[in-house]
Amino acid sequence: MSEKKLKRKTSFTGSTEFTNIKLEEPMRYAAGKLGVKEALKHGFKEMGIVRSMRALLEMNQEDGFDCPSCAWPNPENPSTVAEYCENGAKALADEATTNKIARQFFTKYSVEELSQFTDYQLNKFGRLTEPLVLRPESIHYEPISWQEAYGLISEELRSLNDPNEAIFYTSGRSSNEAAYLYGMFVRAFGTNNMPDCSNMCHESSGVALSETLGIGKGSTKLEDLYAAEVVLVVGQNPGTNHPRMLSALEKCKQNGGKVISINPLEEAGLVNFKNPQNLKGLVGSGEDMADIHLAVKINQDIPLVKLILKRLAELDARDKNVFDHDFIAQYVNGYDELLADLVQYDEQDLLERCGVPEEKINETVALLAAKEDIVVCWAMGLTQHENGVQNIREFVNLLLLKGAMGKPNAGTCPVRGHSNVQGDRSVGIMHYVDEKLNQRIEKHLGFVPPAEEGVDTVGAIKAMYEGRGKVFICLGGNFLMAANDTEYTAQALQNCSLTVQISTKLNRTHLVTGKTALILPTYGRSEKDMKDGKLRYFTMEDSMGRVRQSRGLLKPASDHIKSEPELIGELAHVFFDGKHSVNWKAMAEDYNLIRQSIDKVAKGFDNTTERSKGVGYYLPNNVRNLDFSMLPGGKAQLTLNDLPEHNLERDEFLLMTIRSHDQFNTTIYGLDDRYRGVYNERRVLFMNSNDMKSHGFKKMDVVDISSHYDNKKRTAYKFLVIPYSIPKGNLAAYFPETNVLVPYNRYAHRSKTPISKSVKVTVVKSE
Ligand SMILES: Nc1nc2c(c(=O)[nH]1)N[C@H]1C(S)=C(S)[C@@H](COP(=O)(O)OP(=O)(O)OC[C@H]3O[C@@H](n4cnc5c(=O)[nH]c(N)nc54)[C@H](O)[C@@H]3O)O[C@H]1N2
Ligand SMILES: Nc1nc2c(c(=O)[nH]1)N[C@H]1C(S)=C(S)[C@@H](COP(=O)(O)OP(=O)(O)OC[C@H]3O[C@@H](n4cnc5c(=O)[nH]c(N)nc54)[C@H](O)[C@@H]3O)O[C@H]1N2
Ligand SMILES: [Mo]
């Protein structure tokens, strides 16, 4: 029998049945932090009353655990009441669910059968409770001991011709300790093949900020948002994805600050906001969070900013006080070139491209001209385009011209996704080579790390597809559904000899696998990690660069699962047969040893065990000290960025793939998108009602969406058309259902972030 015929018949999309949609008007407001009572409602169903009460009271508190949802920082003094949001409560309930997958489950269902379930249904089965193996000829997972699993992986790794035939992915939920141990094991094994979720997320921010400001992270602290004069929220939906950020914006407004939202959609929470924890929010109609909403067309942020800069430059030419000339003279490179470049653009053309009404531009220009303390926040609406890096550089231009950098209440704020995605990078999860890091590894860990750049997510998919990547190990995440071009990625995974998932819950990447597959179940953030009667804890780095401790408190889902550092350390110990310059086993047991090692090897970490206590400590950040010595001329860089061109044909739209209110990335908590007024259905396509008319679509028409890159038709079948307030020519639909449309070889220049927010598509009625 040929290799191909042996392949399991697993579905990489799951069912496309509709689930009984209900529509309402989109909501005008969103809540930030959540009252205890409401949050408990989410917990009770999944976790039971006692577990919910205990866990929610400890979430984001000083001696508690870090919320497993987003990376928004906790305030220095968390309020005595709840410091969490609705979606944090959902994330916790999802992780700490009392639903468990028992041994008989995999006897009952084959992987082929399981793959017919939707992602929502797969997640609902609950927590994984013991290590499992899917053997080459089998279609059923079966139990395997930890030792046997380590042995199997080690043998497979040793059998490779070249360490670069193995690829090690990381999702951003892992602690600093787990990620560090993993990253160092991968290097000791001999490769830099470390793609991570960041490649699909904020990589464009990292690239843009590094080259303009000398550090790939943001410069603001939470308090800076409170007192800023203007906060721009660009390409970001905080009401759903970072709800606690709304509390910070509310504080800003109470202090007299203004909020500008730049988004094709009027996202709830930016338009109007209710804080359930203050009386006004509960009884009144809430606050309008955004003072100005700029409904930019998808991927037309650069024309918008250029237009604003042009107008500001005109005012500055007259008054000489709109830009910060002292700051520019001392700290900034490229001023004359930027001004000369702006002159060539036609204002009317820019206006038409961005699609924003002129009076809104005027309002924005007047506000920005008069203010100095400006913060720009952004997320996926800027990073996930072909020109993602340039998008961000253009906003950096604005901040630098205004001197809004390296001082209180001003600066950059890329709002990170996964709760420890920033920390994972800081402790060494990256596919590129950092020579200084390599020198420290050699000095302190006693081995020579590889000097050759590894693959990122795009490179990993291609390598596996082409047979160059043979073993694929994932520390968390759901690679198949998170990555683009689902069909291609599925084939890539199936070409592997071994795929390994270290995870908490079942997902589709466990079902579309290599010849042999392993599931290694691990603790969630909220679980108590005990060793010899002592509680162990982790550290995380939040979106603003602060390192803090996190300790779980709930009884783990099973006695047969292991913490991430423990299983990584044990695997490394087995792989090296106990003979290596690093004592992996000791670190697997005692996380203080890992932290001591991080202090020596990772940049900026220092006395972490002590300093991460309580409110924690900030990692060094050169922008906060206005130190640009690492950049050309020792200065921050203004940059020239091109206008994006999409050249849409009459039947083409630009589609953004976004999150609903009831999901965390590929984990689907529920089928509602309450703020957008959609209930019990995810297969929806948001369309401008004029486009519906001109293209002959009616509300609830069933359509297929196709992209046509490289003469290949990729289709996402069966979506319901919903009229929505979205710019003409633009569409929105949820990820991961629409990932099939995003070609694997279309990504942002230089950061290689897939173009999840500007996919050119056509739409036709389903047959
Ligand atoms: N509850 C919950 N929380 C999460 C997540 C989750 O799935 N659920 N995911 C986490 C992760 S990993 C991440 S990265 C973040 C993601 O957080 P977001 O970036 O807020 O997530 P998206 O849903 O991708 O929303 C993108 C936003 O950008 C807008 N947008 C799209 N294209 C453009 C454009 O061209 N220009 C502008 N100006 N705006 C545009 C969209 O309308 C939308 O409001 O959230 C994190 N937090
Ligand atoms: N089309 C499109 N695609 C996108 C995006 C988009 O906007 N549009 N967004 C992109 C972005 S921003 C990101 S960050 C990626 C996300 O990509 P990933 O990080 O790969 O995906 P997640 O859905 O967050 O991963 C969920 C899985 O992680 C596991 N898990 C949860 N908690 C833990 C834990 O504590 N430890 C371990 N070991 N495992 C755990 C569970 O098994 C769960 O099924 O997706 C990207 N893909
Ligand atoms: Mo992300």
Ligand 1 atom closest to 241 (CA): 3
| Probe residue for ligand 2, chosen from 486, 659, 665 as the CB with the greatest number of ligand atoms within 8 Å | 665
Cβ–ligand 2 distance for 235 under 6 Å, the answer no
Residues 6+ apart with CB under 8 A from 484: 200, 739, 742, 743, 744, 746, 754, 756
- Structural element, H or E, at residue 472: strand 471-475
Q: Is there a contact between 444 and 600 (Cβ–Cβ < 8 Å)?
A: yes
Cβ–ligand 2 distance for 388 under 6 Å, the answer no
How far is residue 185's CA from residue 487's CA, in Å, rounded to a whole number? 31
Longest CA–CA span in the chain (Å) reads 79
Cβ–ligand 2 distance for 89 under 6 Å, the answer no
Phi, then psi, of 40 in degrees rounded to 5: -65, -30
Strand partners, 338: none
Q: Is there a contact between 187 and 584 (Cβ–Cβ < 8 Å)?
A: no
Phi, then psi, of 495 in degrees rounded to 5: -80, -15
Burial of 44 (0-12, 13-18, 19+ CB in 10 A): middle
Whose tokens are 């409602």? That residue is: 41
Tell me how crowded residue 725 is: count the other CB atoms within 10 A of its CB.
13
How far is residue 563's CA from residue 476's CA, in Å, rounded to a whole number? 12
Residue 378 Cα to ligand 1 middle (Å): 9
> What pLDDT is attached to residue 274?
59
How far is residue 686's CA from residue 695's CA, in Å, rounded to a whole number? 14
Phi, then psi, of 383 in degrees rounded to 5: -85, -30
**Which whole-number Å values give the CA distances from 142 to 38, 104, 501, 609, in the listed order?**
40, 9, 15, 39
CA-wise closest residue to 385 among 767, 10, 751: 751
Phi, then psi, of 375 in degrees rounded to 5: -120, 135
How far is residue 413's CA from residue 426's CA, in Å, rounded to a whole number? 17
Strand partners, 464: none
The C-alpha angle with vertex 159 and arms to 448 and 496, in degrees rounded to 5, equals 105
In this structure, the strands spanning 22-23 and 538-541 are unpaired
CATH 3.40.1360.10 fits 653-765, yes or no: no
Tokens of residue 37, six digits: 């009572």
Burial of 376 (0-12, 13-18, 19+ CB in 10 A): buried
Strand partners, 706: 715, 762
**Which whole-number Å values give the CA distances from 407 to 221, 378, 417, in the listed order?**
11, 19, 25
Q: Is there a contact between 474 and 634 (Cβ–Cβ < 8 Å)?
A: no
Q: Is there a contact between 600 and 440 (Cβ–Cβ < 8 Å)?
A: yes
Residue 367 Cα to ligand 1 middle (Å): 26
Q: Is there a contact between 213 and 638 (Cβ–Cβ < 8 Å)?
A: no
> What pLDDT is attached to residue 66?
86
| Probe residue for ligand 2, chosen from 13, 66, 200 as the CB with the greatest number of ligand atoms within 8 Å | 200
Neighbours of ion ligand 3 (CB under 5 A): 201, 417
Q: Which ligand is nearest to the CA of 660?
A: 1
How far is residue 728's CA from residue 649's CA, in Å, rounded to a whole number? 13
DSSP-derived letter for residue 720 is E
**Which whole-number Å values give the CA distances from 579 to 22, 96, 573, 575, in the listed order?**
61, 38, 8, 9
Q: Torsion angle of alpha carbons 576, 577, 579, 582, nearest 10°?
A: 50
Residue 270 half-sphere exposure, CB side, CA atoms within 13 Å? 26
| Probe residue for ligand 2, chosen from 171, 203, 654, 735 as the CB with the greatest number of ligand atoms within 8 Å | 171
Residue ranges, the chain, pLDDT below 50:
1-5, 80-81, 279-284
Tokens of residue 765, six digits: 């009625």
Whose tokens are 């804080």? That residue is: 275
CA-wise closest residue to 410 among 598, 623, 268, 620: 623
Cβ–ligand 2 distance for 477 under 6 Å, the answer yes
How far is residue 452's CA from residue 439's CA, in Å, rounded to a whole number? 14
Residues 6+ apart with CB under 8 A from 457: 169, 195, 196, 197, 199, 200, 479, 483, 752, 754
Residue 197 Cα to ligand 2 middle (Å): 7
Q: Torsion angle of alpha carbons 240, 246, 248, 251, nearest 10°?
A: 180
Where are the domain boundaries for CATH 3.40.228.10 in the chain? 229-372+380-414
DSSP 54-80: HHHHHBTSTTSB--SSB-PPPPSS--S
Phi, then psi, of 486 in degrees rounded to 5: -50, -45
Residues 6+ apart with CB under 8 A from 392: 204, 205, 208, 209, 378, 382, 383, 414
Residue 660 Cα to ligand 2 middle (Å): 14
DSSP-derived letter for residue 45 is H
Chain center to CA of 35: 26
Ligand 1 atom closest to 238 (CA): 20
| Probe residue for ligand 1, chosen from 33, 42, 69, 70 as the CB with the greatest number of ligand atoms within 8 Å | 70
Residue 658 Cα to ligand 1 middle (Å): 6
Residue 72 Cα to ligand 1 middle (Å): 13
> What pLDDT is attached to residue 28?
66
Q: Is there a contact between 671 and 120 (Cβ–Cβ < 8 Å)?
A: yes
Task: Take atom 4 of ligand 2 and give the residue whose Cα is closest.
Answer: 482
Q: How many residues does the chain have?
A: 767
How far is residue 143's CA from residue 322's CA, in Å, rounded to a whole number? 67
Ligand 2 atom closest to 418 (CA): 14
Question: Which CATH architecture best describes the domain 229-372+380-414?
Answer: 3-Layer(aba) Sandwich (3.40)
Q: Is there a contact between 280 and 265 (Cβ–Cβ < 8 Å)?
A: no
DSSP 257-286: -EEEEE-SS--TTTS-EE-TTSHHHHHS--
Residue 203 Cα to ligand 1 middle (Å): 14
| Probe residue for ligand 2, chosen from 123, 422, 504, 758 as the CB with the greatest number of ligand atoms within 8 Å | 504
Residue 28 Cα to ligand 1 middle (Å): 18
Task: Take atom 44 of ligand 1 and give the residue whose Cα is closest.
Answer: 237
Phi-psi domain of 745 (left: phi exceeds 0; alpha: psi -120 through 50; beta: other): alpha
Residue 397 Cα to ligand 2 middle (Å): 32
How far is residue 499's CA from residue 167's CA, in Å, rounded to a whole number? 10
Interhelix angle for 243-254 vs 86-95, to 10°?
A: 160
Ligand 1 atom closest to 665 (CA): 7
What is the gyration radius of the CA atoms in the chain, in angstroms? 25
Phi, then psi, of 340 in degrees rounded to 5: -65, -35
How far is residue 71's CA from residue 78's CA, in Å, rounded to a whole number? 15
CA-wise closest residue to 12 among 171, 170, 96, 119: 119
Task: Take atom 37 of ligand 1 and give the residue whose Cα is closest.
Answer: 235
